[in-house]
Amino acid sequence: MNAEYREKGFFSFLKSLSAPLLEFLFPSRCPACGAYVEKSGDWCPACLANAVRVRRLPIEGEHRKNLEEAWAFGLYHGALRELLIPLKFKRKRSGIPAIRSFLEEAGGALHREDWMPGVVVPVPLFAEKEKERGGNQTEMIFREWMEAQGWVWRRALVRTRATKPQFGLSAPMRALNIKDAFALSEDARLEEIAGKNILLVDDIMTTGATLAECARILRSAGAASVSAWVLASDRA
Ligand SMILES: [Zn+2]
């Protein structure tokens, strides 16, 4: 029996175990401090409270034309950053339960019962990149939680070409990098956009140039307003 085969056998053996037994064999740990927690995805209360930094982000002049406001749930730093990087760049989904717990805590702090977006639109990846990554990480993070709030999730935008990561580019280069990089998708229904308040979602906001460009497309399709929520940002 070769090693690969043995490994496969071991994983299918693990899969056959019940959740409580797995928890006993491989106890879950807080993603920030490593303390034992009750179940997979849990944080210890102090670390979770520390990671949640719900705040309104500053939007630069030009971007304000189409993007009304932007909110972040946490800092792109520490445990949250460590959870996002493997998901974003290495297709590793093991951090998703902890990210969802974080979202529930932080999203609960921001979400007001009397407020509801007309439709939620994720910032799209270029189709090839999404295929390569096995999905859009923004969708993996937010969709289930937002649909549980009764909100309509619509992939109304597409990325029309591959873009460089915005991180590390100068402001003019960022603008150039994403200019005309988005368009309405075939799934977009104009009646769901025109006259509606759209909530854009993304995993990380750096300068807001990407969000503003997406907002511009949605506004030109008739959206009444576009605001954005991101999981994390390094902006104070
Ligand atoms: Zn902890």
Residue 1 pLDDT more than 90?
no
Q: What separation in Å is there between the alpha carbon of 80 and the centre of ligand 1?
A: 12
Q: Which amino acid is at 140?
A: M
* 168 phi-psi bin (left φ>0, alpha ψ -120 to 50, beta other): left
Ligand 1: distance of its center to the CA of 28 in Å? 11
Q: What pTM value is reported for the model? A: 0.86
The CA 30 to ligand 1 mean position distance, Å, reads: 5
- If you measure from the C-alpha of residue 10 to the centroid of ligand 1, how many angstroms do you get, rounded to a whole number? 30
- Interatomic CA distance for residues 90 and 166, integer angstroms: 18
The tokens for 135 are: 């999905």
Reading the block at residue 176, the tokens are 């150039």
Give the model's pLDDT for residue 35. 95
Q: Which residue has the tokens 């309509």?
A: 152
CA of 130 to the centre of ligand 1 (A): 32
pLDDT tens-place string over residues 90-129:
878 889 999 999 999 998 877 676 678 889 999 999 999 8
What are the Cα distances from residue 87, in Å, to 25, 82, 107, 182, 217? 25, 9, 20, 23, 27
Q: Which of 8-22, 41-55, 139-153 has the lowest mean pLDDT?
A: 8-22
- Distance between Cα 101 and ligand 1 center (Å): 13
Strand partners, 86: none
Q: How many Å lie between the centroid of ligand 1 and the Cα of residue 33?
A: 4
Tell me if 31 sits within 8 A of 84, measured CB to CB.
no
Residue 219 Cα to ligand 1 midpoint, Å, equals: 42
Picking from 122, 77, 131, the residue whose alpha carbon sits closest to that of residue 102 is 77
Confidence of residue 3 (pLDDT cuts 50, 70, 90): low
How many angstroms does the Cα of residue 74 sit away from the middle of ligand 1?
16
Please state the domain extents for the chain.
Answer: 3-233
Distance CA 121, CA 153 (A): 6
